[in-house]
Amino acid sequence: MEIFVNGKSRQVEESFSALQLLESMELVGKRLALEINEEIVPKSRHAEYLIAAGDKVEIVNAIGGG
């Protein structure tokens, strides 16, 4: 199914969890925050949260800024 990660289209398997998505991108263990369809998905829920077709996923971190 197609989802959108940081604005880009991405194909993932059905009933993929948020954690599996992060694993597939080698982002597990990195400092990041996850938002799906403009709702925060806390770290404690990454394993149980199932991604649906068309979901808009945002993965963010801290960068230099003033």
**Do residues 51 and 39 make contact, with C-beta atoms less than 8 angstroms apart?**
no
The least CB distance from residue 15 to other proteins, in Å, is: 22
- Site for other proteins contains 7 (CB under 8 A): yes
Token digits for 52? 């649906």
Which one, 11 or 31, has the nearer CB to other proteins?
31
Closest distance to other proteins from the beta carbon of 5 (Å): 6
| 58 belongs to the binding site for other proteins (CB under 8 A) | yes
Beta carbons of 44 and 64 less than 8 angstroms apart: no
Tokens 């991405």 found at: 10
In the three-class reduction of DSSP (H, G, I as helix; E, B as strand; rest coil), residue 8 is classed as: strand
Q: Which residues bind other proteins (CB under 8 A)?
A: 5-8, 25-27, 30-35, 38, 40, 42-43, 58-66
